[in-house]
Amino acid sequence: MKIAFFNTKSYDRQSFKAANQKHQHEIVFFESHLSDETISLAAGFPAACVFINDYLDAKILENLAQGGTKLLALRSAGFNHVDLAAAARVGLTIVRVPAYSPYAVAEHAIALVLCLNRKVHRAYNRVREGNFSIEGLLGFDLHSATVGVIGTGKIGAIFAQIMKGFGSKLLGYDSYQNLTCLNLGMEYVSMAEILSQSDIISLHCPLTPETYHLIDAEAIAQMKSGLMLINTSRGGLIDTQSTIDGLKSGKIGYLGIDVYEQEADLFFEDLSNQVIHDDTFQLLLTLPNVIVTGHQAFFTSQALSNIADTTLANVTEFERSGSCKNEVKMETAIAPK
């Protein structure tokens, strides 16, 4: 099938060219995002492939369908950037990669925990400057720390497994109780309990209307003082301004984020020669107990190869049968399991 491939980086071209040896689709790579300005590039392509920072609103989806596109292949697990109702209305099938490496994301969340706790980011700079003072670098044992996992699906369960290895006590919050987590000794509790009892909270639930700003001023007020908050899921789960207020008051002792609500204007691009106009983001970067990474949690070689293989297999399945097991429908959004 002919695929218009948007928002391409060198690593996408590499992994998709390698995977396409098996699938033999006709891929045309475009560097630009899929947007109102670039939509004409997709005309005549039965399939288009996009990433999480391409926003698929009703207008774009209508234009895609009018240009003859039948299939929109997301090379991501998350689909909060697609207007699913509009896609259904214009007859576009949306497919995604439900799992490519939950280990990649869980392991990155752990990297943030370890770096924040033992202040590796600060120690690295100090030692390079010949400053061997350890003042201000005090950490805490993860052994016996209480770790709250919000969203105990594929990634949350692996995160819990690794934390179990440190000897942490596990709390979970999810409407579905995951057997793997129960077998690790995780105790499922209410939102109020997970907030008030955890030393560390890691977010692993999807962004939905229900989870939007799950961590807001009210939630922060209920947190144990000095809590470490980790978000490798989606930026919209956290109300950034309330989180900054929590960091200033000391209620939040550490913040590690791989995702940011306004990340679409920043992440995945080299902006090192430009002035960044997002003052909220810039303020976050000034705080010593905050680590921000630019949506790289998924970025391992295994994950890239799985993303490419599943995306192209989705296209093949749709081409052969007109449907796909990894189709995203309105029901998927309501019940992510």
**Residues with catalytic roles:** 234, 263, 295
Give the 3-state secondary structure of residue 231: strand
- The first and second tokens of residue 114, run together, are 């370890």
Residues contacting residue 139 through CB under 8 Å, at least 6 positions apart = 117, 118, 119
What is the rounded distance in angstroms from the CA atom of residue 154 to the CA atom of residue 200?
19
- Distance (Å, rounded) from C-alpha 257 to C-alpha 151? 16
Distance in angstroms (rounded) separating the CA atoms of residues 243 and 246? 5
Minimum CB distance to ligand NAD smaller for 71 or for 105 = 105
Rank residues 151 and 246 by Cβ distance to ligand NAD and give the closer one: 151
CA gap 50, 46 in Å, rounded: 14
Shortest Cβ distance from residue 28 to ligand NAD (Å)? Answer: 26
Least distance in angstroms from the C-beta of 182 to ligand NAD:
13
Amino acid letter, 70 = K
Contact status, residue 192 vs residue 221, Cβ threshold 8 Å: no
Closest distance to ligand NAD from the beta carbon of 114 (Å): 17
Element (H, E) at 144: none
Contacts of 137 (CB under 8 A, 6+ apart): 118, 119, 122, 123
User: In the block, which residue shows the tokens 């129960």?
Assistant: 182
Minimum CB distance to ligand NAD, residue 308 (Å)? 15
Q: Which residue is nearest to ligand NAD (CB)?
A: 153
C-alpha to C-alpha distance for 256 and 250, rounded to whole angstroms? 15
> By C-beta, is 20 or 232 nearer to ligand NAD?
232
To ligand NAD, the closest distance from the beta carbon of 208 in angstroms equals: 6
State in angstroms the smallest separation of the CB of 167 from ligand NAD: 23
Chain residues in the site for ligand NAD (CB under 6 A): 77-78, 99, 102, 105, 150-156, 173-176, 204-207, 210-211, 232-234, 258-259, 295, 297-298, 336-337
Residue number, 208 or 316, with CB nearest to ligand NAD = 208
**Positions of E strands within 59-154:** 71-74, 93-95, 146-150
Alpha carbon 196 to chain centroid, angstroms: 25
Task: Rank residues 15 and 69 by Cβ distance to ligand NAD and give the closer one.
Answer: 15
For residues 27 and 112, which CB has a smaller minimum distance to ligand NAD in the complex?
112
Return the bridge partners of 200, or none.
147, 228
